[in-house]
Amino acid sequence: MKISTSYSLLVALGLAIGLAGCNSAMQVYKKGVRQFEQGEYNLAIENLQKAANGKGVTDVARLNYLLAESYRLSNRFPQAAPFYQKAIEAGIPEINAKMYYAYALKAQGRYPEALVQLDQYVATKPSSKVNLEKARREAETLRAIDLISQKKIAFQPKNIGALNSPGSEYAPVVRGDELIFTSSRKEKIYKNNGQPMTGLYKIKLAQKPDETGNNPQLFSSNIFKDDANEGTPAFSKDGKIMIFARGNNGKRKGGLDVDLFISRLSADNAWSEPLRLPISDSTAWDGSPAFSADGKTLYFASNRAGTVGGIDLYRTNMDASGRFSRPVNMGRDINTPGDEMFPYVAEDGKLYFASDGHPGLGKLDIFVATRSQGIISVENLGVPINSPADDFGLFLVEADKGYFASNREGGKGDDDIYYFDDSESTTEKPPLASTPPTEAPKRVRYFIAGTVSENASPQAPLDSATVRIIEEGVEAPIGEALTGDPGTYGKYPLKEGKDYTILVERPGYLTKREQFTMQGRSIPPIFLKKAETDTTFEVPILLDKVTLGKTFVLENIYYDLDKYAIRPDAAEELDKLVTILKDNPTLKIELSSHTDVRAADAYNIRLSQNRAKAAVDYIVSKGIEAERMIAKGYGETQLIVKNAKTEDEHQRNRRTEFKILSF
C-alpha cells in the first residue's frame, strides 16, 4: 500500500511538473505573439525560440511561421528560411509562406530551391495581383540567374574594416574630405531588430579610402534624436541644404512614421533644427532621399498610396526658395511590384538605385537606369557589386570610384560600407557600362490580343463585341475589331512605355474600359537571346450582362470610424463607377451603403444613409446627373455574413454597392 501511494505521488508530481512546463511554454509563446503584433520582432524571436525549445505549444506551424516572419520583417531573410520550411512542412495555411520562403532561399544563394517554391506559389493562383506578378517576374529571374551571374567585374570591393562595426553602417555620402554615413551607434535599442538605433555620423577620409579609421563623430547635435532612427542624408549642390529620413521609433506602427526632414547650414557652420518636409506622407514610409546632379530635383522612396508595388521611387522639383512640388511616381519602367529605394543620380545623369523587383542576384541588387530616345532601360551592375545578399546605397566619387553598402558574407556586422576603385581593374570594359557597343541591339516587337467573355460561370465567349485599342494622347484607335465566334480580338502592335485603354461594347452588356500599360513590361535585355523577338500580351475582358436589380459590390470603399466623408482611397474607387456611368449614359442605379451590427440599429441606418449620400454627391461632382442615382442606407438590415465574428467578416458586411434600376 505504501509503495502504491509513493508511486502515485511520483506520477502526480511528474504530471504537475509536465503541466507547469507546458503552461510555461504557452505563456512564453503568447508573450512572443504579442511582441510580434507590436512590431518588436527581436524580442518576439527570443520568446518564440524559447517556446519552440519547450513543450506545450500545439500549433507548431504557426509558431515557426511567426519566427520566420519576425526574421523577414526585421530584414534578416537568410535566417528566416529554416522556419518557413518547418511551417510549410507542418501545414501552415498562409498562402504567401512559399513566396517568402523562396525569397529567403534566394538570399542564401539557393536559387533552384527558390524557383521550386515560387512555381508552387504561382500554381495556387493567389488573389493578390501584385504578389502574383512579383512572383512570376522573380521566377523568370531565377530561370535566368546564370545569365545575370555572367556579368562580372575584375576589381574586388574592399570592406572598410576599421570603420564598420558589428552593427549597421550604410548610405555613405562624400562631402568635401568627409564621409557622412548612417550607423546604429545610439544607446537606445530598436526592438524591431535588436540593434542600436541609427544616427548620422562623419569621419575624415584617409588617403586610401578603404583605410578610413573607426573614430567617427556625431554629424550634428541638432540633428541627433535619441529615440528615433535617422539616416540616408542627401545634400544640395551648394551643400547648404540636407534632406534626411527620421522615424521608426519602435512603436506598433513604427513602419509608417518615417518622414523626410530638412536642415539648413547657417552662417556659423551649424545645421538648423530639422523640419518635416510637407511632401512627406504621414500615413506612409518615406526615406532614402537623393538630389540630382544640378540640385533641382529630389528623388526619394515611399510606400504611399498609389505605388506600383511595395516601395516606389518618386521625384519632386525644388524651386529657388527651397519649396518642393507635388511628388510624382517614376513609373513602371523604374518601379516594379517589388521594392525600389536608395536612388542616386551621377554627374552624367544616370540613375542608380536598389531593387528586389528587377532581375537580380539577391534581395536587393544595384541597378542603373538610362534613357535613350524616350525609352528607359534598366541594367543590373553585376558581380561583385551585387551578391545574394542586400546591396544598396551606391555613391560615386568619380565615374569609376565609389562606395556602397552590403550585408554579404564576410563583413564585420549587419550592413557594412564597401569601397571600390575601377582603376585597379584589369578589364577593358568599364564596370558600370551597358552592353558593349560592338553588339547589335536586340529588337522586341510587342502586341496585344485577347478574348471577350461574359462575366458568369462558365465564362462563355462573346461574339459581336466591338473592341477598340486606344493609345493615350492619340485620338484615333490604333486597332478596332468585332469579335467572332471564339470571342477573340487582336493582335495589335504596342509601343514601349505607352499607356492604353481597351474599350469593349456589346448590346445588352455594360460597356467595359480596361487599362493596360507598357510601362515596366519591356523584356530586360539580359533575357533576350535572338536578334528579333515577338511577344504578345493576352488581355481577357469580362463583360457584365445588364439585368435589372443586379447588384455589384464596390471594393475598397472605406470610411473613417463613425464618419461619412469620402476619403482619397474611396474617391479612387468611386472614380471607377464614374467611368462606368459615363460609358453607359442610359444606366440608372441605386447606390447603397451597409454597416455591420456593432452599433444601434437607428444609428447604423443614419450613418449608412449619410455615407450613401456622400458617395452620390461625390459622383455628381464629377459630372454625372443626380437623377441617375438614388442614395440608400440599409444599415445592418442586409448582412452578407450573419453572426459575424472576425474583423474580415464584419468588413464584408460593411460594404458599398450599386444596383441597376434601368438601362
Q: Read out DSSP for 442-485?
A: PEEEEEEEEEEEESSSS--B-SS-EEEEEETT-SS-SEEEE--T
Separation CA 39–CA 74 (nearest Å): 9
Per-residue pLDDT reduced to its tens digit, 110-145: 999 999 999 999 888 887 877 888 888 889 889 888
Query: Running DSSP on this structure, what letter comes out for residue 427?
Result: -
pLDDT above 70 as % of the chain = 92
CA distances from 317 to 254, 297, 376 (A): 28, 4, 20
Of 332-346, 489-503, 546-560, which range is least confident? 546-560
Per-residue pLDDT reduced to its tens digit, 169-211: 999 999 999 999 999 999 998 888 889 999 999 999 988 888 8
CA distances from 239 to 271, 279, 291 (A): 11, 21, 11
The cell 555620402 sits on which residue? 173
Q: E-assigned strands of 292-415?
A: 297-302, 312-317, 328-329, 340-345, 351-355, 365-372, 375-380, 391-398, 401-406
Q: Which pLDDT belongs to residue 72?
A: 93
CA 339 to centroid of chain Cα atoms? 5
The average pLDDT across 240-251 equals 83
Per-residue pLDDT reduced to its tens digit, 511-521: 999 988 887 67
Per-residue pLDDT reduced to its tens digit, 1-58: 444 555 555 555 555 455 445 568 788 899 999 999 888 999 999 999 998 887 777 8
Q: What is the value of pTM for the model shown? A: 0.72
The mean pLDDT value of the chain amounts to 87
Separation CA 199–CA 246 (nearest Å): 9
- The full DSSP string for 38-76 is TT-HHHHHHHHHHHHHSS----HHHHHHHHHHHHHHTT-
Per-residue pLDDT reduced to its tens digit, 423-464: 665 555 455 544 444 456 678 999 999 999 999 888 899 999
Q: Which pLDDT belongs to residue 279?
A: 94
Separation CA 394–CA 368 (nearest Å): 10
Residue ranges of domains in the chain, CATH in brackets = 2-149 (1.25.40.10), 158-424 (2.120.10.30), 443-543 (2.60.40.10), 551-662 (3.30.1330.60)
